[in-house]
Amino acid sequence: MRLAGPLRIMALVISVGLTWLVASILLGGPGGGFPRIQQLFAGPENSVTAEPRARKYKCGLPQPCPEEHLAFRVVSGAANVIGPKICLEDRMLMSSVKDNVGRGLNIALVNDVNDLLKFIRPLHEGTLVFVASYDDPATKMNEETRKLFSDLGSKNVKDLAFRDSWVFVGAKGVQNKSPFEQHVKNSKHSNKYEGWPEALEMEGCIPRRTTAS
């Protein structure tokens, strides 16, 4: 009976020692308590360090344009629901948010062929022309309109048809066809939307116009 007291004290010491040992393992020593516990309960996806977001440059381009170049992004409309966008040097020139886009050819919200011809004919040499289709770019086009766009550097305007998607950047007085053009035909076999092809997105850097001294 006299040993009961010392035995209880020894059992208590052992219990405290075991508790301290387990706590040390879980908490990882001084200063490492809660992070260690969180690691035990965190899933694999939570233990991966998030990658830093890729930096975006003017108009959302993944890389900056060289000196004496203009950054641009042109996005055609999606079906007849989402309007097109035209961005130049980080300035949104046309978009649904700005409420200055319409169905047809978006150059400067011109849908009527006669107004379109009046708009394009007097362009000065070297003027850049940004075009994004929305819904139907071709129904109201005539041969003169197609020739004017062809003279601006387009190679696809001659084949543009009902509800095609088209984005284009050209210039008055270019000698060759523009490298900045995309065209998708309206086809029920390949359309992304019911009655319309996919929207097109084009971006790049255009050399600034040089002024002769």
Q: What is the pLDDT of residue 34?
A: 44
- Greater pLDDT, 15 or 189: 189
Q: Does 87 have pLDDT greater than 80?
A: yes
Q: Determine the Cα–Cα distance for residues 146 and 148; give it in Å rounded to an integer.
A: 5
Q: Determine the Cα–Cα distance for residues 80 and 12; give it in Å rounded to an integer.
A: 79
Q: How confident is the model at residue 102 (pLDDT cuts 50, 70, 90)?
A: confident
Q: What is the pLDDT of residue 127?
A: 87
156 in a domain, yes or no? Answer: yes
State the chain's mean pLDDT as an integer. Answer: 80
113 in a domain, yes or no? Answer: yes
182 in a domain, yes or no? Answer: yes
Q: What is the pLDDT of residue 51?
A: 66
74 in a domain, yes or no? Answer: yes
Q: What is the pLDDT of residue 109?
A: 38
Q: What is the pLDDT of residue 36?
A: 46
> Is 161 within 8 Å of 186 (Cβ atoms)?
yes
Q: What is the pLDDT of residue 174?
A: 87
Q: How confident is the model at residue 120 (pLDDT cuts 50, 70, 90)?
A: confident
37 in a domain, yes or no? Answer: no
180 in a domain, yes or no? Answer: yes
Q: Is 53 exposed, middle or buried (0-12, 13-18, 19+ CB in 10 A)?
A: exposed
Q: How confident is the model at residue 89 (pLDDT cuts 50, 70, 90)?
A: very high
Average pLDDT estimate for 202-210:
86
What pTM was estimated for this model as a whole?
0.67
Residue 83: domain span: 58-207
Buried b (16+ CB within 10 A) or exposed e, 170-196: bbbeeeeebebbebbbbeeeebeeeeb
Average pLDDT estimate for 83-90:
92
14 in a domain, yes or no? Answer: no
Give the DSSP per-residue string, 82-115: BPPEEEETTEEEE-TTTT---SEEETTTB-SHHH
Q: What is the pLDDT of residue 58?
A: 94
Lowest-confidence segment of 2-16, 111-125, 141-155, 156-170 by average pLDDT: 2-16
Q: What is the pLDDT of residue 46?
A: 53
77 in a domain, yes or no? Answer: yes
Number of domains making up the chain: 1
Average pLDDT estimate for 158-177:
93
